[in-house]
């Protein structure tokens, strides 16, 4: 009773006041925005939904590594925003299938094939080549860019050399078969010159619109195949200029109605002075210092649209075409101003505006598109919507150089995606891009790719070692082992690295730092596994598996692993989605155990021939099948399934090192 009364005297017990932890402010995603030239906190306009438009290719030739630079980089950014930060990304991309470059290339290809089919006599061919060289020499004299001039001189020299055998064959009255071979060689070498010459003479007579649609259709298909081979996600929506002509006409009409466009001789131009003088608008938001750069503006207008008569139609040299009156030999569509075709810049504005409306979260493209293309896109779209915020964040991927030299189709020093994939896998190319900032210049060189190969090998070795540890038989309770200081320290390092990765991704999706943090984490794991091995103690399976799964997850987010179906880099059968590792590994384990038993008996019975056969199986036969056996004294053989080419390259390197060591002795 006394105790009870004492409790009553204290009064009713209450929970003590709780104090929340101070914590630390969460890291916010910042993206480098070309509109501010700084890293801005990313705030989508509609919650977690992100609207994104990306400038697609102009499809008139093979896709090259410059395209890969842009589309792999945007694929990485898109995947990170979607799969890491959890945004609901609506991604749109266009295909430019109506353009000056396409028109000219389509005409040239058509006219050249017509010329070839006529099989001109050798004398006629030589006369035509000399006429084409004469026209080409004018182009050469007018070229001021030293790199381009040097390239044109090489072409001229090669054509002249190719003409000499045919000239000698005609003078010497050689057999027809010899002359025919010389003709074919000359046609192949002089194709570009003859095509340009034929286009100047006969281009205006090409009137069949199907000629202008076949070329882009072919190259668009090739582009999609290249993107699939690179593991680039397809867009949610793909637009083609040829399918949006009515929307483009309406877009142009409204710009005119709003007072920012004017018709002139069947074409329609954007009035840059009128737009810039408006209090609501600014022209040249991205590169204001480039406004008035006539060379850049004329490149943006296209080769077929910068003749003196076209330039005289403008009120100001800074004005650009919204709609172009079609000349003979160009495709055309009906519109209020007469038959014509869209200007380059208006195509993206109309298609993006139709799908994404008056304001989008992200617009992306290559660095070289900033001016005039993207500045003109911004101007005409904001003239249409009468706003000042058509794009919230403008992202531009960096240039790509080839061994330090600028890559350019016009300089003919580009590497196609198909050729690049013959030398390196899609994963290796992506790792090379991940090891550089998406917005800076990337040099595609042997050194760059060697770094990517070494990184892939380093990570793959870790995954293979963890897989080997996880394959060791253990009962259910044995999966959970007591943690010692080593496990606690490794786990602390694991969480530190995850925090560093998150911080790097928030900092403009800094994949270069992310990959270095991942490398450091693997190095820490390797030290832990080596220490355990030296002490003849089993590493903690669960902890290593957690780390390996996290690294697999990050590489999957980046697109370096196609699907997160297993731990590490998947091993597929050729031309199939079959998971080779899960299928083959049980048989390889049986082979490994059988080999160990045979080796044990051979050592005991002193039969060196059997040991030599066992070594040959390990060193010569299994690598050819993409299998590596690693023998460790006193421990079970480690079985690893890898890439055949990588294992053969590794074997060759070991033999070279061994050979050089013997030579030194």
Residue-wise pLDDT for 646-665, tens only, equals 888 888 888 887 766 655 54
How do residues 164-182 score in pLDDT, each as one tens digit? 999 988 888 767 676 788 9
What does the pLDDT read at residue 653? Answer: 83
User: pLDDT per residue over 45-56, tens digit each?
Assistant: 999 999 999 999
Looking at residue 99, its pLDDT comes to: 95
Mean pLDDT lowest among 213-227, 314-328, 468-482, 619-633: 468-482
> What are the strands, taking DSSP E only, across 250-309?
261-264, 267-270
497 CB burial (10 A radius; 0-12, 13-18, 19+): buried
pLDDT averaged over every residue in the chain: 92
What is each CA distance from 260 to 381, 536, 623, in whole angstroms? 11, 79, 68
Q: What is the pLDDT at residue 658?
A: 73
The top-scoring range by mean pLDDT among 6-10, 473-477, 504-508 is: 504-508
pLDDT value at residue 410: 66
Tell me what pLDDT residue 6 has: 53
Q: What is the pLDDT of residues 577-596, one digit of tens each?
A: 567 777 888 888 899 889 98
- Is 412's pLDDT higher than 80? no
291: pLDDT strictly greater than 90 = yes
Asked if the model's pLDDT at residue 349 lies above 90, the reply is yes
Query: Could you tell me the pLDDT band of residue 609, with boundaries at 50, 70 and 90?
Result: very high
At 393, is the secondary structure helix, strand, or coil?
strand
Is the pLDDT score of 546 beyond 80? yes
| DSSP calls for 583-628 | HHHHHHHHHHHHHHHHHHHHHHHT-HHHHHHHHHIIIIIGGGGTEE
> In the predicted model, is pLDDT for residue 35 greater than 90?
yes
Tokens 């050592």 belong to residue: 603
Mean pLDDT confidence for 484-511 = 98
Tokens of 58: 């102009």
Answer yes or no: is pLDDT of 309 > 80.
Answer: no
Instruction: Tell me the pairing of strands 400-402 and 442-444.
Output: parallel
């Amino acid at each position: 009773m006394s105790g009870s009364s004492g409790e009553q005297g204290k009064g009713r017990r209450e929970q003590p006041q709780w104090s929340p932890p101070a914590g630390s402010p969460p890291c916010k995603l910042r993206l480098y925005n070309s509109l501010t030239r700084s890293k801005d906190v990313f705030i989508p306009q509609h919650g977690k939904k992100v609207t994104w438009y990306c400038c697609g290719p102009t499809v008139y030739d093979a896709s090259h590594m410059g395209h890969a630079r842009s589309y792999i980089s945007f694929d990485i950014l898109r995947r990170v925003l979607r799969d890491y930060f959890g945004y609901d990304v609506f991604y749109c991309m266009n295909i430019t299938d109506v353009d000056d470059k396409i028109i000219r290339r389509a005409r040239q290809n058509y006219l050249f094939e017509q010329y070839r089919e006529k099989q001109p006599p050798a004398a006629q061919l030589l006369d035509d080549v000399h006429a084409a060289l004469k026209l080409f020499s004018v182009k050469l004299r007018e070229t001021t860019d030293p790199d381009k001039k040097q390239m044109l001189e090489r072409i001229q020299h090669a054509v002249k050399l190719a003409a000499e055998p045919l000239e000698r064959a005609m003078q010497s009255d050689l057999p027809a078969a010899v002359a025919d071979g010389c003709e074919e060689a000359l046609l192949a070498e002089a194709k570009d010159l003859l095509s340009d010459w034929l286009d100047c003479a006969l281009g205006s007579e090409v009137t069949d619109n199907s000629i202008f649609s076949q070329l882009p259709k072919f190259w668009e298909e090739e582009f999609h195949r290249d993107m699939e081979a690179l593991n680039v996600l397809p867009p949610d929506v793909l637009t083609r200029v040829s399918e949006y002509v009515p929307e483009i006409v309406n877009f142009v009409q409204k710009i005119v109605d709003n007072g920012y466009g004017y018709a002139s001789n069947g074409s329609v131009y954007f009035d840059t002075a009128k737009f810039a003088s408006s209090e609501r608008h600014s022209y040249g938001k991205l590169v204001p210092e480039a406004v008035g750069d006539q060379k850049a503006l004329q490149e943006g207008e296209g080769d077929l649209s910068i003749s003196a008569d076209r330039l005289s139609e403008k009120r100001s040299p800074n004005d650009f075409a919204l709609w172009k009156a079609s000349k003979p030999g160009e495709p055309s569509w009906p519109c209020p101003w007469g038959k014509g075709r869209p200007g380059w810049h208006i195509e993206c504005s109309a298609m993006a505006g139709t799908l994404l409306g008056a304001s989008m979260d992200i617009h992306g493209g290559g660095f070289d598109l900033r001016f005039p293309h993207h500045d003109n896109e911004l101007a005409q779209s904001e003239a249409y919507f009468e706003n000042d915020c058509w794009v919230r964040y403008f992202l531009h991927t960096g240039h790509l150089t080839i061994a330090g030299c600028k890559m350019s189709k016009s300089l003919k020093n580009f590497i196609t995606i198909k050729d690049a994939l013959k030398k390196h896998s899609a994963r290796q190319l992506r790792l090379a891009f991940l090891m550089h900032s998406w917005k800076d210049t990337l040099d595609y060189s042997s050194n760059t790719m060697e770094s990517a190969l070494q990184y892939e090998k380093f990570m793959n070795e870790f995954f293979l070692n963890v897989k080997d540890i996880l394959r060791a038989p253990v009962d259910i309770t044995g999966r959970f082992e007591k943690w010692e200081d080593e496990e606690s320290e490794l786990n602390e390092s694991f969480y530190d690295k995850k925090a560093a990765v998150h911080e790097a991704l928030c900092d403009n999706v800094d994949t270069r730092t992310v990959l270095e943090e991942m490398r450091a984490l693997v190095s820490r794991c390797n030290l832990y596994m080596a220490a355990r091995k030296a002490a003849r103690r089993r590493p903690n399976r669960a902890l290593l598996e957690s780390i390996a799964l996290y690294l697999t997850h990050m590489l999957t987010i980046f697109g370096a692993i196609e699907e997160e179906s297993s731990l590490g880099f998947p091993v597929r059968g050729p031309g199939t989605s079959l998971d080779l590792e899960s299928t083959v590994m049980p048989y390889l384990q049986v082979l490994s155990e059988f080999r160990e038993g045979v080796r044990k008996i051979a050592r005991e019975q002193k039969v060196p021939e059997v040991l030599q056969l066992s070594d040959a199986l390990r060193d010569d036969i299994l690598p050819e099948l993409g299998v590596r056996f690693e023998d460790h004294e006193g421990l079970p053989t480690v079985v690893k399934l890898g890439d055949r080419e990588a294992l053969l390259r590794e074997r060759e390197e070991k033999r070279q090192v061994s050979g050089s060591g013997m030579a030194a002795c």
